[in-house]
């Protein structure tokens, strides 16, 4: 009887606590799905500004657009945080042409893009050494001297999560050039990091090892990669590869930071962000225009419904993720220098597809707490927290303060069709999928703001 | 001690049983993701045959294609099951033009499609009565006589699941014409059942109530719907609407049925299927080309890995779902007439997007059993079973035999962008998403075959 009474006494309270959260998340979701501006803002960013590699005029324009847009969408405060960014330029049209097959002249043009940060000063012409992976190159290192090494290492289609494949093959893009230069190669071409059936090449950042010559490096479209691989098995190929990538001096860039000021803990910060820079060859719609407009949308929606956060929530458009991580690094450095107290940071940098959950870098206890929220989140799409991460831009906060960080985990089956390729354009983004990402992120931010993590 | 011994004795068995299932599902997944033919088969079906409304020449061609393909992909047995299908034809180009605004002549063309099964014999010209819903029409029924009623009832964007919105608004397409004819209307135009930002109209089946005149009926693109709605609030509109839909006599169609013969229970049947017919205005890629090639792919993959099913598995391409459900009905009727024992049926008719789970029509006990399999399925994408259904084509089996039925539940955010619209084409389908659907369905079929449901 006593037990029953206690249960009866507790019931309304428990019921109320539960339904207050449910009601708030429903309110957030309705606001975003009914009045969301993310899709229109993405149209502005991609079509009026376009590709915006750090240091480019479009990047400068994007910073101003970000500041103005955050102000228009109701931020309590907006400012620009200066940080130096690298200024790599492509310098011309990248080309690769098979000019000889078994000493017979030919002119088989391939669709290539120079890798970001790679250096080129015109055309190199050399025989092709086609290898499947580093192990094969290591075995055949004596053949590499004076050659253009072609790494044909593709995604493993049996990985259910393409990000696993990206993790497995990314090293060929990042380190493949110096690995080949070590053996005397004069150029590198990698199979693009994608499973797409299209022939678009996919660029992305590489980094030279200063111990070896800095040889030019490109990514080739997957259909062309198949052709070159097949030809190389039967014949000796000679290729001309033209790239003109070079660095201009570092230049001034900015993180765009907006705040909704906390009512209880104004000096404790929750950060939500995406990165404003993109590659130069596309509109940077899914990488990371969607993260940018998720960030703005969450702020807009919380303001629109009159939400008063307990902590100060920072909405950050990071300056430079793609080829330097200077924006995220600067943000954490300044936070440390100012002695700021940060409690959580969440990024969107995996596209605007339907959310499936979040990846977190957290303790076991924090993971358990997050998982207790799944019944509140799953009606909106996020059904799992995985322990595999947090976005690149928020990782310096994690390293600096040891705070929990996370990243939206949208469906990833389509992401590498367009990642770093010319096809990363507005048209590939679906409005409802995009808005659902903002809904789930806003709901998680609300829960962390209310209960801590 | 005894307890411990028992646990230790059981452990290897439990471990082995678990890992045998894990290994088999991994084998299925690897086979489909590595060697899957679904995407190429979908290309054939959509590009070589195209739209294939029941009764059309393309539909006849699709039946032959289905039979040949099933044979080529390794069925133990393939046959055609005859059933009569309706033969509705559009009969010409559908048109709607606002010809007067407040008695002033104009010529504002709208993008419309006649609703499937609707009858038309040329042009009707009348004033427009624009209403939001049935309730408004009922209040204003005295205004309806001699008018073209325009239902502007759109999807509720706050529904996280667009299928909920489709459920809420579908009645305007199905019953809107007769509801208006009851009040003397001479034509009906509905807002297309979509949230798409494009202006494509979306057709789909309607049915007349024989008590009222069979007036022509169209669906209008959502942007045009917005325009007409806005104009109608300020002005009196006169519209000409031209449709020529009519029925030819019912004609012979076929369900295409393939089998992998059971080793233990050859006379007990598990059915997997999708529907072969589609609307006439598109390629029927997502509705239901993806279900057709899921079905074929599952058979191909099980055969390719040498799987010997305990039960006989039937792979069925149903003849006519869109405007009659004659295929699914015939299949269940014949099963009953022959005294066949059916144990489970699974359909794919919600697109080829990344799987999120399955909807089931099952008992509580069956649901609990299915849910115990989630740890085996969730690595491949299916993380939930919901109790809201089973596909249209397998519903007659459920009604006839009371057996459990289910339907693949892919991500649905994009489905109604293209559902029944001209934009339901091959290019909207992603290869990996499509294959993941086949993986999850095949895994569920394997589990039901092994353990029953």
Q: What is the pLDDT of residues B130-156, one digit of tens each?
A: 999 999 999 999 999 999 999 999 999
CA distances from B223 to A376, B156, B197, B229, B230 (A): 35, 16, 7, 10, 11
Percent of chain B scoring above 90 in pLDDT: 94
pLDDT number for residue A390? 80
Measured between CB atoms, which of A379, A383, A436 is closest to B413? A436
CA-based nearest distance A29→chain B, Å: 7
Rounded to an integer, what distance in angstroms lies between the CA atom of residue B386 and that of residue B137?
35
Residue A444's pLDDT band, with cuts at 50, 70 and 90, is: very high
CA-based nearest distance B279→chain A, Å: 24
| B123 in Cβ contact with B240 (< 8 Å) | yes
Cβ within 8 Å of residue A237, ≥6 positions away: A98, A100, A101, A127, A128, A130, A228, A231
Residue in B100, B297, B321, B322 annotated catalytic: B321
- Candidates B259, B432, B433, B271; CA nearest to B350 is B433
Paired residues of A317 in beta bridges? A256, A274
Rounded to an integer, what distance in angstroms lies between the CA atom of residue B309 and that of residue B344?
14
For CATH 3.40.630.10, the residue range(s) in chain A are 24-83+252-451
pLDDT number for residue B17? 54
- Annotated active-site residue A340? The verdict is no
Residue of A nearest to B197 (CA): A431
Place of tokens 């990642």: A419
Question: How does pLDDT run across A51-95, given as a tens digit for each residue?
Answer: 999 999 999 999 999 999 999 999 999 999 999 999 999 999 999
- Candidates B427, B369, B435; CA nearest to B408 is B435
Rounded to an integer, what distance in angstroms lies between the CA atom of residue A274 and that of residue A391?
9
| B271 in Cβ contact with B345 (< 8 Å) | yes
The residue among B35, B38, B160 with the most chain A CBs within 10 A of its CB, best to mutate, is: B160
Nearest 5°: phi and psi at A220?
-110, 150
Q: Is the pLDDT of residue A175 over 90?
A: yes
Contact B33 A162 (CB under 8 A): no
- Any idea which fold A92-246 has? Glucose Oxidase; domain 1 (3.50.30)
Measured between CB atoms, which of A30, A158, A414 is closest to B34? A158
Residue A17's pLDDT band, with cuts at 50, 70 and 90, is: low
Q: If you write DSSP's letter for every residue of B251-282 in order, what string do you get?
A: EEEEEEEEEE--SSEEEEEEEEEEE----SSS
Contact B381 A33 (CB under 8 A): no
Residue of A nearest to B436 (CA): A160
Tokens, residue B190: 């509905």
| Inter-axis angle of helices A290-304 and A2-35, nearest 10 | 120
Residue of A nearest to B428 (CA): A428
Question: How does pLDDT run across A323-341, given as a tens digit for each residue?
Answer: 989 999 999 999 999 999 9
Residue of B nearest to A434 (CA): B413
Residue A197's pLDDT band, with cuts at 50, 70 and 90, is: confident
Percent of chain B scoring above 70 in pLDDT: 96
Count of Cβ atoms closer than 10 Å to residue B163 Cβ: 17
Please list every residue in chain A whose beta carbon sits closer than 8 Å to the beta carbon of residue B354.
Answer: 354, 411, 413
The residue among A43, A157, A386, A435 with the most chain B CBs within 10 A of its CB, best to mutate, is: A157
pLDDT number for residue A271? 98
Contact B433 A414 (CB under 8 A): yes
For CATH 3.50.30.30, the residue range(s) in chain B are 91-244
| A290 in Cβ contact with A434 (< 8 Å) | yes
Q: If you write DSSP's letter for every residue of B73-94 in order, what string do you get?
A: TT-SEEEEEEEEEEEEE--S--
Rounded to an integer, what distance in angstroms lies between the CA atom of residue A3 and that of residue A411?
46
Rounded to an integer, what distance in angstroms lies between the CA atom of residue A265 and that of residue A132?
55
Residue A11's pLDDT band, with cuts at 50, 70 and 90, is: very low
The residue among B28, B163, B432 with the most chain A CBs within 10 A of its CB, best to mutate, is: B432
Rounded to an integer, what distance in angstroms lies between the CA atom of residue A111 and that of residue B372?
49
Burial of B170 (0-12, 13-18, 19+ CB in 10 A): middle
Q: Is the pLDDT of residue A12 over 80?
A: no
Q: Is the pLDDT of residue B280 over 70?
A: yes
Q: Is the pLDDT of residue B4 over 50?
A: no
A88 three-state secondary structure: strand
Q: Is the pLDDT of residue B16 over 80?
A: no
| Architecture in CATH of B24-87+249-451 | 3-Layer(aba) Sandwich (3.40)
Give B 364-423 residues with CB within 8 A of chain A.
Answer: 379-381, 383-384, 411, 413-414, 417
pLDDT number for residue B3? 41
| Architecture in CATH of A24-83+252-451 | 3-Layer(aba) Sandwich (3.40)
| B405 in Cβ contact with B390 (< 8 Å) | yes
Contact B417 A411 (CB under 8 A): no
Rounded to an integer, what distance in angstroms lies between the CA atom of residue A155 and that of residue B305?
22
The CA angle A243-A249-A251, to the nearest 5 degrees, is 115
Measured between CB atoms, which of A380, A411, A431 is closest to B354? A411
Measured between CB atoms, which of A30, A158, A354 is closest to B158? A30
CA-based nearest distance B430→chain A, Å: 7
For CATH 3.40.630.10, the residue range(s) in chain B are 24-87+249-451
Contact A34 B160 (CB under 8 A): no
Contact B379 A160 (CB under 8 A): yes
Percent of chain A scoring above 90 in pLDDT: 94
Domain B91-244 bears CATH identifier 3.50.30.30: yes
pLDDT number for residue B389? 79
Measured between CB atoms, which of A157, A160, A195 is closest to B380? A160
- Is the preceding omega at residue A288 within 30 degrees of 0, hence cis? yes
pLDDT number for residue B391? 87
Residue A398 DSSP label: H
Give B 240-269 residues with CB within 8 A of chain A.
Answer: none
Strands ordered across the beta sheet of B355-361: B77-89, B246-260, B311-318, B265-275, B341-347, B405-410, B355-361, B384-386
| Inter-axis angle of helices B2-35 and B290-304, nearest 10 | 120
Place of tokens 């050859």: B266
Contact A383 B381 (CB under 8 A): no
CA-based nearest distance B60→chain A, Å: 30
Question: How does pLDDT run across B342-390, given as a tens digit for each residue?
Answer: 999 999 999 999 999 999 999 999 999 999 999 999 999 999 999 977 8
Q: How many helices (H) and strands (E) does chain A have?
A: 13, 16
Residue of A nearest to B196 (CA): A431
Rounded to an integer, what distance in angstroms lies between the CA atom of residue B125 and that of residue B111?
16
The CA angle A264-A18-A353, to the nearest 5 degrees, is 85
Tokens, residue A63: 């910073």
Question: How does pLDDT run across A126-157, given as a tens digit for each residue?
Answer: 999 999 999 999 999 999 999 999 999 999 99
Biggest CA pair distance of chain A: 96
Measured between CB atoms, which of A384, A414, A431 is closest to B430? A414
Rounded to an integer, what distance in angstroms lies between the CA atom of residue A157 and that of residue A272?
33
CA distances from A40 to A53, A70, A297, B169 (A): 22, 14, 11, 26
């Amino acid at each position: 009887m006593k037990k029953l009474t206690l249960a009866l006494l507790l019931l309304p309270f428990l019921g109320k606590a539960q339904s207050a959260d449910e009601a708030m998340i429903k309110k957030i979701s309705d606001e975003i799905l009914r009045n969301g501006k993310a899709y229109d803002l993405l149209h502005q960013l991609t079509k009026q500004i376009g590709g915006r590699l750090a240091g480019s005029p479009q990047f400068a324009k994007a910073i101003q657009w970000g500041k103005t847009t955050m102000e228009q969408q109701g931020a309590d405060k907006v400012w620009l945080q200066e940080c130096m960014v690298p200024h790599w330029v492509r310098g011309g049209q990248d080309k690769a042409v098979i000019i000889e097959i078994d000493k017979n002249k030919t002119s088989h043009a391939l669709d290539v893009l120079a890798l970001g940060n790679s250096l080129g000063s015109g055309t190199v012409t050399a025989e092709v050494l086609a290898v499947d992976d580093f192990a094969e190159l290591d075995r055949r290192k004596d053949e590499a001297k004076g050659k253009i090494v072609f790494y044909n290492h593709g995604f493993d289609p049996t990985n259910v999560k393409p990000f696993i494949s990206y993790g497995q093959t990314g090293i060929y893009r990042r380190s493949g050039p110096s690995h080949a230069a070590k053996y005397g190669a004069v150029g590198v071409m990698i199979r693009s990091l994608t499973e797409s059936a299209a022939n678009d090449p996919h660029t992305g950042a590489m980094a030279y090892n200063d111990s070896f010559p800095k040889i030019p490096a490109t990514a080739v479209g997957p259909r062309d990669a198949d052709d070159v691989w097949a030809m190389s098995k039967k014949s000796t190929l000679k290729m001309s590869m033209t790239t003109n990538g070079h660095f201009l001096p570092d230049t001034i860039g900015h993180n765009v930071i907006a705040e909704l000021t906390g009512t209880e803990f104004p000096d404790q910060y929750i950060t939500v962000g995406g990165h404003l820079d993109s590659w130069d060859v596309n509109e940077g719609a899914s990488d990371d225009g969607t993260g940018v407009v998720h960030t703005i949308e969450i702020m807009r929606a919380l303001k629109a419904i009159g939400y008063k956060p307990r902590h100060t929530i920072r909405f950050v458009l990071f300056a430079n993720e793609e080829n330097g991580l200077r924006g995220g690094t600067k943000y954490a450095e300044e936070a440390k220098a100012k002695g700021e107290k940060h409690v959580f940071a969440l990024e969107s940098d995996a596209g605007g597809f339907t959310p499936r959950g979040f990846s977190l870098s957290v303790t076991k206890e924090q993971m358990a707490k997050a998982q207790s929220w799944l019944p509140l989140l799953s009606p909106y799409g996020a059904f799992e927290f995985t322990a595999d991460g947090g976005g690149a831009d928020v990782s310096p906060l994690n390293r600096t303060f040891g705070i929990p960080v996370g990243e939206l985990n949208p469906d990833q089956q389509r992401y590498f069709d367009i990642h770093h390729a010319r096809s990363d354009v507005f048209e590939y983004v679906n409005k409802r999928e995009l808005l659902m990402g903002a809904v789930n992120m806003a709901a998680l931010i609300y829960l962390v703001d209310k209960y801590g993590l």
